[in-house]
Structure 1
Amino acid sequence: MSDAHVAASPLEQLVAGHLDAAAGGDRDAYGRIVAACQNPITAIALAIVRDVPASEDIAQEAFLSAWQNLRRLQNPASFLPWLRQITRNLARDHLRARRRRPREVEDADALIESAADPQPGPLGRLAGSEREAVAAELISALPDDSREVLLLYYREGQSSQQVATLLGLSDAAVRKRLSRARQCVRADLLERFGEFARGSAPSVGFTAMVAGALAVASPPAATASVLGGTLAIGGAKTLGKVVAGSAGGLGLGLAGAFAGIYLGLRSQLKGAIDEAERVALVRNAVVSGLASVGFMASLLLIAWLDDGWVLPVLATLVFMGIVFHKSMVVLPRILARRHALEAQRDPVGAARRRRRERINCWIGGIVGFGCGVGGLIVGLVSSGRL
């Protein structure tokens, strides 16, 4: 798909206005670029991988890759085509790593009816993973060159000119691809596909999640790490200095934490089997959010009152203990009834999913523990506490 240049669009003007600052390490400036570009980038990824969670992961990776390599970009006007190509390459790499192809699609209309049903029955509410699989197949049913255009068309208020700007195409090319898609799918079902496209669009939490990841990613210019900067304020002895020195890092940390909690909760609620499970999931997420706020507040208080290393270590261990308990004990207990129902319906598939979830949980726990301890040590050393 070609990336025809569209001169002086509002999006290009926004990017141009913030790109120099972002290349110098300004995370806020880059965050504004992410917010403006998240729709087309996630749509490009979704059109290729046909999986909403995977598309957001790929888009996040694309934004981080671009952030870390901004200084290599010679021409600011090339940023959007460059970012689009990074996304497409990552999405294709994802497909190759997955080593499987979507099944052949026989009936696009039936698939759209299933995936975009506004009032699913009890089975539809239970089988969230199955509905995601159907959504992947309905995207596959669309013409290859129309998937990006159609997804973004509905996400952008059905403006072909806006789609043309975001994808670097001519308005005529966009209209032609939309026409091809309309020939493949009935009009009423196409509108329901539009509901799916709008419902799968990234929320403001996506930008917050990328902003949180920027805090620990290598910047295009040399800047201090957020955790190191937060703990390095131990020498400050007034609350004003503590807040001034750490507010930015703590804000990004909290934004990332709440974005992760929100996105995880949203995914879990899709398959909730009853109101009791929904309440338990929400309560679990609220406790996790309060634990994150408490941890950040404790770092501020410790930095103000104490110059040693014991209290920061204790605060970090307590917080990590809460996180491990919530993810490895409380959450599986909440989902036990759902898992039992899945096991009754598909014992082999359910056992495979539980095994994969356990492996991912342990990998995430080990990586999280290593990153947390590593960041803590860096912060303690840089602040002179160790």
Structure 2
Amino acid sequence: MHIDDLIRRELPAAARGDAHAYGRIVAASQNAVTAVALAITRDVPASEDIAQEAFLSAWKHLPRLQNAASFMPWLRQITRNLARDHLRASRNRPLDGEAAELAIARAADPGQCPAGLLLDQERDAIAAELISELPEESREVLLLYYREGQNSRQVAELLGLSDAAVRKRLSRARRCLRSELLERFRDFASGSAPGTAFAVAVTAALGGISKPAAAAGVATTGGTLAGGVAGKLLFGGIGAVFTGLVSGALTAWAMRWVLSRYADNDTERRAILRCYDVYLLTGLGCLALCLGCYALFDARLPFYAAVTATFIVLNYQLLGPLARTMTPLVQRDAQRNPRTAYWRTLGYRLSFGPSGVLISNITVVAMLVLLHFKTA
């Protein structure tokens, strides 16, 4: 999924305070934001601190944003301002002159250093100085190009440029670095990219979210419909309803075994399981319809319409085909031993009879009402 599509999908929920929706935006755009900061500061740890501050600042002022298309340009500008402020406040300046030449020489041939024992962090710090050798307008592009799997179109989308402009800047950047330095720069750019922990930390810093919960929300980021559905449903406001439906489905599966015990022979057992399996499969299909409507539509009407259709279809399954199959068998069981059959009959009526259907309908409606007012 393109970053613009993801932002359009997640930003309305994020603006209403959904930290997990914002976390998915962070995960999708963190390479771009850290690259913008790194291009200015030439310092990997500082760039990540600045990027985190930029995301938190954008989150704080998100309700002011009127147009989703303006989010990435706005976020990039926040990052650039923070990075420049960092440079002004920092006493450490980028290397220049002979110091810069020495840094580049070491990056190209670590064996020149005594015993070749430079630590990874030291090599990264030296490699970062390669950024200074690039034209200023090409730094963000080249960093992000290697962080995004050398996909120029993705870079163009993240930086708000045309693909032609990106390719032109890439060409200019390549001309400025010798091939061996360009290869080392590629390793540095991809190796210094923030991982999942960065987005998790930002999401957790929004307040009131544990890191495991933040990680769960961030982990759903992706270009598939399943990612969007899981992210919105498993860890959003609908999560309680979804969990209740899943636990209800597990209980219903156990009841399949209970119902089959009313059969005296294979023919009766097959008839029971055929009706009940149709009920279960219909229920799963209706559940998928409800979740799909919730995930795909911002408006609530399609979701509520799907829930209403689910009520009608499942109530018919319980009070129609299943009841016609089970009623004679339940009555037969009661006639055989009225004393021991009493509780079994009561359980059946509360689970599958009119009383049970009414109770379950009232329960689900009450949950939806609570959800409606909670998310309004």
What TM-score do you get using the length of structure 1 for normalisation? Answer: 0.51
Q: Name the residue aligned to 1:153.
A: 145
Q: Name the residue aligned to 2:155.
A: 163
Are the aligned partners of 1:42 and 1:56 in contact in 2 as well (CA < 8 Å)? yes
Alignment of 1:334-353 (within 5 A): none
Instruction: Return closer, same or farther for 1:125/1:23 CA change in 2, 3 Å cut-off.
Output: farther
Instruction: Return closer, same or farther for 1:186/1:254 CA change in 2, 3 Å cut-off.
Output: closer
1:214 is the counterpart of 2:206 = yes
User: Structure 2 counterpart of 1:80, which letter?
Assistant: M
User: Structure 1 counterpart of 2:168, which letter?
Assistant: K
User: Structure 1 counterpart of 2:35, which letter?
Assistant: A
Alignment of 1:53-202 (within 5 A): 53-105=45-97, 111-112=103-104, 114-115=106-107, 125-126=117-118, 130-202=122-194
Are the aligned partners of 2:108 and 2:180 in contact in 1 as well (CA < 8 Å)? no
Q: Distance in 2 between matches of 1:253 and 1:210?
A: 9
Query: Which is further off, 95-104 or 24-33?
Result: 95-104
| 3-state SS of 1:157 partner | coil
1:23 is the counterpart of 2:15 = yes
| 3-state SS of 1:63 partner | helix
Instruction: Return closer, same or farther for 1:157/1:129 CA change in 2, 3 Å cut-off.
Output: closer
Are the aligned partners of 1:73 and 1:79 in contact in 2 as well (CA < 8 Å)? yes
State the shift of 1:105 in Å: 4.4
Instruction: Return closer, same or farther for 1:250/1:136 CA change in 2, 3 Å cut-off.
Output: closer
State the shift of 1:249 in Å: 4.2
What are the Cα deviations for residues 29-87 of structure 1, in whole angstroms up to 9, with x where unaligned?
00000000000000000000000011000000000000010011121210010000000
State the shift of 1:188 in Å: 3.2
Instruction: Return closer, same or farther for 1:17/1:113 CA change in 2, 3 Å cut-off.
Output: farther
Q: Which runs of 5+ in 1 are unaligned?
A: 1-8, 216-225, 227-247, 256-386
Q: Distance in 2 between matches of 1:253 and 1:160?
A: 30
Q: Distance in 1 between matches of 2:193 and 2:130?
A: 16
| 3-state SS of 1:201 partner | coil
Aligned counterpart for 1:205 among listed residues 188, 194, 197:
197
State the shift of 1:109 in Å: 8.0
Q: Name the residue aligned to 2:29.
A: 37
Q: Distance in 2 between matches of 1:45 and 1:205?
A: 18
User: Structure 2 counterpart of 1:73, which letter?
Assistant: L
Are the aligned partners of 1:23 and 1:71 in contact in 2 as well (CA < 8 Å)? yes
State the shift of 1:107 in Å: 9.1
User: Structure 2 counterpart of 1:32, which letter?
Assistant: R
Instruction: Return closer, same or farther for 1:45/1:125 CA change in 2, 3 Å cut-off.
Output: farther
Alignment of 1:188-337 (within 5 A): 188-215=180-207, 226=208, 249=210, 251-252=212-213
Are the aligned partners of 1:50 and 1:136 in contact in 2 as well (CA < 8 Å)? yes
Q: Which runs of 5+ in 2 are unaligned?
A: 217-376
Q: Once the two structures are aligned, what percentage of the paired residues are identical?
A: 66
Q: Distance in 2 between matches of 1:250 and 1:36?
A: 18
User: Structure 2 counterpart of 1:71, which letter?
Assistant: P
What are the Cα deviations for residues 106-156 of structure 1, in whole angstroms up to 9, with x where unaligned?
697864553366889776645566434423321111111111001011111
Count of residue pairs the alignment pairs up: 216
Instruction: Return closer, same or farther for 1:250/1:161 CA change in 2, 3 Å cut-off.
Output: closer
Larger radius of gyration: 2
Q: Distance in 1 between matches of 2:172 and 2:68?
A: 34
User: Structure 1 counterpart of 2:177, which letter?
Assistant: V
Are the aligned partners of 1:112 and 1:192 in contact in 2 as well (CA < 8 Å)? no
Instruction: Return closer, same or farther for 1:136/1:254 CA change in 2, 3 Å cut-off.
Output: closer
State the shift of 1:175 in Å: 1.1
What TM-score do you get using the length of structure 2 for normalisation? Answer: 0.52
Are the aligned partners of 1:116 and 1:195 in contact in 2 as well (CA < 8 Å)? no
User: Structure 1 counterpart of 2:10, which letter?
Assistant: H
State the shift of 1:204 in Å: 0.7
Query: Which is further off, 27-36 or 128-137?
Result: 128-137
Are the aligned partners of 2:144 and 2:155 in contact in 1 as well (CA < 8 Å)? yes
Q: Name the residue aligned to 1:348.
A: none
Q: Distance in 2 between matches of 1:174 and 1:132?
A: 25
